[in-house]
Each structure stands twice: as structure tokens, then as C-alpha cells.
Homo-oligomer: A and B are copies of this chain.
Amino acid sequence: MVGFAVLGCGRIGRMHALNVARHPRATLVTCYDKFPETARAAAAETGAVAADSIEAALAHPEVQAVLIATPTDTHVDLIVAAVRAGKAVLCEKPIDLDMARVDRCWNAIRDRDPLVMIGFNRRFDRSFKAVRDRVAAGEIGAVEQVVITSRDPAPPPVSYIKTSGGLFLDMTIHDFDMARYLAGDIVAVFAAGANLIEPGIAEAGDVDAAMVVLRAASGALVHINNSRRCAYGYDQRIEVFGADGMLQAHNQHATTVEGWTRERTRSRDRVEDFFIERYTQAYNAEIDHFVDCIEARRTPLASFAEGREALRLAEAALQSLRTGAVVRVAR
């Protein structure tokens, strides 16, 4: 059994706490939140003990693994503290908004050969993983094009936008990682953005929709489309086109029911939203993979280095947005 501390018990932290508590090879030892009541609620729900401080949580002798679900600007410090305390780390994305801080973080921990995994949950989605595995098995030949559709049901509050790093760092970061997951290393980035949805987002200096084109080292092209609003739910699709065929992972619906009426036929439910519902299976598989990596001392599928690469693509996209030109991404 792997003992866990969960730091940050907001929406996603609480979900992780429950997933850890239910995992057959994990125990939730303790959880912490800067609002003690939030920590106590999560503790009560899971049978864990609320920690009084981060230090107490990290010092707990039964804690082997630390799950970081606190605000982004605290990530790098917590990663360093946890690694120094000898823990394995699973940290929510992004590592940080600033590449220099990310690199300092890594420099501070690299000598310890730490087990740090970044929360790119989509890598663990059964359908996306099946696409990757089938591509790897050669089912569609060499990958030539990838199309990633990723649209949130509704924009977050503008206040959140302001500290989020903007669309590319906050939202597209997942898609940049999926691009790498499916097409490998990326060498060039072009990004176009738009303000179509929420004037406050424009005022905050961010875009609320985007279309990105990436070029992979393999020569494959990747398209990402994003929107901060999607009437029919949380639109999450992948298409990989290869020399010998295509694989598509479609949206998920809560039921398989089709309705047929005078007006229309074969109607399905709305698409499942939001991420906690849509990626239930993936979040559980993510914990499972992390536990596997701890038990077997393996490098996680979504490593610190992967988290850094996604951030580089987000930075390049921001630069492309500003210049209207392709940005080369050297390794």
C-alpha cells in the first residue's frame, strides 16, 4: 500500500483524494488545504486525517506519495519540498507559468532522480490511449495528421483567467501534451486566437478561442482547436490520420440512448461535462499508473520533462499569437 498526502482539497484535489482513498493499493493518509475546513471536509469523506500544515503532511512517516492540487504558483515550491522529503510527486498541470522557475525547480531536485509525474490525465483516457496504442501497433501506418478538438462547456470567471496564464497555459497545455503523446516531438508552432465569447477575457488580455498548427519532428502536422464555450458540453475529440487509415476517439455520452421523433432522429444526450465526469476513468487510471511507478520505480508516462515540453509549446504559441508567424521550437 502506498500512503498519500493530498495538498489542496478544492474541486480537483477532493476528487483525487476520493480516488486515492478508493484505490486498492493506495491509502490516503492525510490531506491539507489552506482553508482548514476544506481539508477537514475532504478528510471526513475519505477517512483520512486533515493535516495542520504542509510540513506536517510531508513529515508524516506513512506518506510516500504527495499529490499537489494547490494553485499553480505554489507548484514548484511544493515539488521541491516534497522531493526533498523523499516523496514521489504527482503534480497538477501546469508545473508553473514561467519556464525559468520550472528549470530552477528541476535543477533543485534532479540530483535525487525524483519520481515526479504531471497530471496530464488525458493520457490515461481509455479511448485516447487505445488510439495511441493502435497507432504504435502500426494499424494506420505513419502518422501524418492529428486533429485535436478541445472545447470547454463554459468560460471560467475572468478573475481566474487573469491568474491562469491564459488559454494556452491553462487549457491548451493539455492539447499540447496530447499532440506530443500522439505525434511525438514538435518543432514548430503557429497559433491564431480570437475573442468571440466573453469581453472580459479580451480585457484581461487573453483570447477565448484558438486554432493552432504544429509541425512534428516526424513531419506530421497537428491541428488543435479550442473554445472556452461549447453549448453541447465538454467537447473532447482526437483524430489521427495515417498513411494506412485513421483512428478517431469521439465524445462520450452518459447513455447509449438515441431518440427518434417527428423533428429529428438518432439524437444522443449532451456530451458529458465537465472534466471530472468526462475523465473519471482517466483520473483513476492516472492514480493507478502513479502507484505502479512508485511500486516498480518506473518513470511515469507523464514525467516532469513532459510537463516542461508542454509548457514550451504554450510559450511558443503565445509568441506566435503575438507575431503572426511560425515559431521554431529547438530542443
Q: Could you tell me which A residues sit within 8 Å of B by CB distance? A: 22, 126-127, 130-131, 134, 139-142, 144-145, 147, 149, 151, 188, 190, 192, 194-197, 209-211, 213, 215, 219-223, 225, 227, 229-233, 235, 241-271, 323-326
Q: Are A245 and B261 in contact (CB under 8 A)?
A: yes
Q: Are B260 and A246 in contact (CB under 8 A)?
A: yes
Chain B residues, CB < 8 A from A249: 255-257
Q: Are B252 and A248 in contact (CB under 8 A)?
A: no
Q: Are A229 and B245 in contact (CB under 8 A)?
A: no
Chain B residues, CB < 8 A from A268: 264-267
Q: Give the complex CA separation of A56 and B264 in angstroms.
A: 49
Residue in B147, B194, B245, B265 whose beta carbon sits within 8 Å of that of A260 in the complex:
B245
- How many copies make up the complex? 4
Q: Give the complex CA separation of A127 and B142 in angstroms.
A: 31
Residue in B197, B213, B262, B266 whose beta carbon sits within 8 Å of that of A192 in the complex:
B213
Q: A209-B221, A266-B267 are in contact. List 12 more A-B contacts (CB 8 A).
A: A22-B22, A140-B261, A141-B231, A190-B324, A194-B215, A232-B261, A232-B262, A245-B259, A248-B257, A248-B260, A262-B270, A324-B326
Q: Are B265 and A270 in contact (CB under 8 A)?
A: yes
A-B contact pairs, 30 of them (CB 8 A): A126-B254, A127-B255, A127-B256, A127-B257, A130-B255, A130-B257, A140-B231, A144-B196, A144-B209, A145-B211, A147-B147, A147-B223, A192-B221, A194-B219, A194-B221, A196-B220, A196-B243, A197-B243, A211-B221, A211-B222, A213-B213, A221-B225, A231-B245, A231-B246, A245-B259, A250-B256, A251-B256, A265-B270, A267-B268, A323-B325
Q: Are A259 and B219 in contact (CB under 8 A)?
A: no
Chain B residues, CB < 8 A from A263: 270
A196-B144, A233-B265, A257-B247 as given contacts; A151 in contact with B227, CB under 8 Å: no
Chain B residues, CB < 8 A from A241: 151, 225, 227, 230
Q: Give the complex CA separation of A190 and B244 in angstroms.
A: 27
Q: Give the complex CA separation of A261 and B135 in angstroms.
A: 13
Q: Are A194 and B213 in contact (CB under 8 A)?
A: no
Chain B residue nearest to A142 in the complex (CB): B196
Chain B residues, CB < 8 A from A247: 257-260
